[in-house]
């Protein structure tokens, strides 16, 4: 089944060029089906790239998915045009009376700051509290995962000595968990972050379980036992060239970044990176939509 998106969203043309089945609003309205309502709080600076990445990942499901994009009111985006935001995004006050089957909270480039120093932290806290009663299941990504673990469980983040960047091997810890159904025993996934959540802090909370982790990159997947909250301390939705863009941006800033691990062939930045994590990302998002959203959410969203 297709993913339903607004007619003029730039991601639509990109996804169609990749032979991904997308459906605009007019055609979707003609179908006698209730799509899954997914809210995406996009905190990334270049929002169009994140839109395409997430919509691509959500499209690999037999379910019709209707995505709504949300932005915070307490922060002005400097890297996305105002016209794009006005056309495709909502503020929290616009949707706070609605209920959603699922929600995604993205990462954000604010890792060097304490959570309370982020200018939209208070608003984000309100949204995360609201999600407890208005969303069936919420997926938190990278900094969003660290923010969610901190807000919901008081789990702190720690600064690393250097940025973790690259493609890392992970182990599935419990194959019986539906979130990792059809995963290989070991799998590859991207990480890009300066901070981390530690294993021992998560284990202090019996209501949480670690589902997958890496010997080099640390925790990858954490979830509550009821599937209400899923935390991904990585970026399985990243494109082939996303880490390349980040690496060259950091070079241009004079930050002397290390070459992303296990990313370029022969560690040569002149080479085209090998896309080795796409199946994992697609499976993760499909499993989330199926087992933690579709199988759980009521037909009438008012009953959430």
48 in catalytic set: no
Told to judge if 235 belongs to the known catalytic residues of this protein, a careful annotator would answer: yes
Residues 6+ positions from 14 with CB-CB distance below 8 Å: 52
What is the 3-state secondary structure of 162-194? EEEEEEEEEEECCCCCHHHCCCCCEEEEEEEEE
CB–CB of 101/136 below 8 Å? yes
Q: Which of 140, 152, 170, 235 is catalytic?
A: 235
Q: Is 18 a catalytic residue?
A: no
CA dist., res. 240 & res. 229, Å (int) = 27
Residue among 120, 253, 251, 234 at smallest CA distance from 169: 234
Answer yes or no: are the C-beta atoms of 287 and 181 closer than 8 Å.
yes
Annotated catalytic residue within 111, 196, 213, 237: 237
Dist CA 40 CA 58 (whole Å): 11
d(CA 53, CA 17): 14
> How many degrees, rounded to 5, is the angle at CA 139 between CA 285 and CA 59?
30
Write out the two tokens for 120: 């939209």
* Catalytic annotation, pick one of 142, 152, 170, 213: 142
Q: Which two tokens stand for residue 210?
A: 């670690």
Asked if residue 167 lies in contact with residue 188, where contact means CB atoms within 8 angstroms, the answer is: yes
Catalytic center residues: 142, 235, 237
């Amino acid at each position: 089944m297709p993913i339903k998106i607004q007619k003029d969203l730039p991601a639509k043309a990109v996804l169609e060029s990749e032979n991904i089945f997308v459906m605009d609003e007019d055609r979707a309205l003609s179908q006698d089906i209730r799509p899954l309502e997914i809210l995406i709080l996009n905190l990334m600076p270049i929002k169009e790239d994140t839109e395409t990445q997430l919509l691509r990942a959500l499209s690999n499901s037999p379910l019709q998915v209707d995505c709504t994009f949300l932005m915070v009111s307490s922060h002005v985006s400097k890297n996305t045009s105002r016209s794009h935001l006005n056309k495709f995004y909502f503020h929290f006050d616009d949707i706070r009376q609605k209920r959603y089957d699922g929600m995604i909270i993205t990462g954000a480039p604010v890792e060097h700051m304490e959570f309370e120093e982020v200018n939209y932290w208070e608003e984000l806290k309100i949204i995360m509290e609201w999600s407890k009663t208005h969303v069936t299941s919420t997926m938190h990504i990278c900094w969003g995962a660290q923010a969610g673990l901190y807000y919901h469980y008081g789990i702190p983040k720690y600064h690393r000595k250097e940025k973790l960047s690259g493609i890392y091997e992970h182990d599935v810890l419990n194959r019986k968990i539906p979130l990792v159904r059809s995963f290989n025993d070991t799998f590859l996934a991207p990480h890009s972050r300066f901070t981390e959540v530690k294993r021992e802090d998560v284990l202090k909370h019996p209501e949480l379980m670690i589902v997958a982790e890496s010997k080099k990159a640390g925790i990858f997947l954490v979830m509550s036992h009821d599937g209400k909250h899923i935390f991904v301390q990585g970026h399985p939705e990243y494109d082939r060239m996303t880490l390349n863009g980040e690496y060259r941006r950091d070079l241009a800033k004079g930050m002397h970044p290390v070459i992303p691990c296990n990313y370029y062939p022969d560690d040569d930045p002149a080479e085209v990176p090998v896309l080795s994590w796409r199946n994992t990302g697609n499976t993760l998002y499909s499993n989330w939509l199926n087992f933690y959203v579709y199988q759980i959410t009521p037909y009438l969203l008012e009953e959430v």
